[in-house]
Structure 1
Amino acid sequence: MGAAPVARDPGAQPERTRLAWRRTTLAFALVVVLAGRTLITEGDGGPAAVVGVAGAAVAWVGFLALAHRRMRALTGRRPAAAGGTVLAAAGVVLAVAALLALTLSAG
């Protein structure tokens, strides 16, 4: 009567997680580009805007390194927990948001 249990593919979850990290990295890159465009076009385009865009770009590179580290950890036989990497990535995102908000309010 009940459906037979479906065998779980142990490789599917790490693959989905890798794809999610890639999508997140691309979305973060788009946010940095659009925020930079906003700072340059709507702001005065002065030094504060340049510092804001440069800081966001450097932070994105740090986020990219964290994501790459996590994706490499998923290739092992038994993927390790992501706790520290996820918290660090969230910290980078919050730092960029704060930096861009301060830069926009200063300009």
Structure 2
Amino acid sequence: MRAVPGPGPDEGRDAGLQPERTRLAWRRTTLACSVAALLALRQALRGSGAPLEVGGAAVIVLVWLAFLGVAHRRIRELEARRPPVLAPRVALGAVLCVVALAAFAATVIT
């Protein structure tokens, strides 16, 4: 009995949809990160203007800018016909930015 060849890894799959969904997910994550950064920044700057509060606000802005850089780079990469796989270092950078921003936001709110 002979096996019928099935579709190859790229056949039968619309490769254009997955990068689009991934690009939209990066944009949603960037929006959520921006909102969290703005709320934490607002809370940090609402205080007395002590150096610790201003320093915390500066760290929040720097982490947010780092995440924007990572996200923008990945969104640009996804425009290619065959987008490259996300490098582990870039993924780790994005995760660290999100975790750091969440930690700073939680610290500022409490």
TM-score by length of 1: 0.77
Q: Which residue, 9, 13, 28 being the options, matches 1:8? A: 13
Shift of 1:76: 1.9
The gaps in structure 1 that reach 5 residues or longer are 1-6
Q: TM-score, normalised by structure 2?
A: 0.75
Find out whether 1:25 has 2:30 as its counterpart: yes
Point out 4+ residue stretches in structure 1 off by more than 4 angstroms.
Answer: 100-105
Instruction: State the structure with more CA Rg.
Output: 2
Aligned-residue Cα RMSD (Å) equals: 2.0
Question: Could you give the per-residue CA deviations for residues 24-65 of structure 1, whole angstroms, max 9, x where no partner exists?
Answer: 111111101101122233x43322111111111111111111
Q: Within the alignment, does 1:58 sit opposite 2:62 as a pair?
A: yes
**Aligned residue pairs: how many?**
98
Match of 1:4 in 2: none
Higher share of residues assigned helix: 1
Identity among equivalent positions (%) equals 47
Kindly indicate whether the alpha-carbon contact (under 8 Å) linking 1:49 and 1:104 is maintained by their aligned counterparts in 2: no
Structure 2, unpaired ranges of 5+ = 1-11
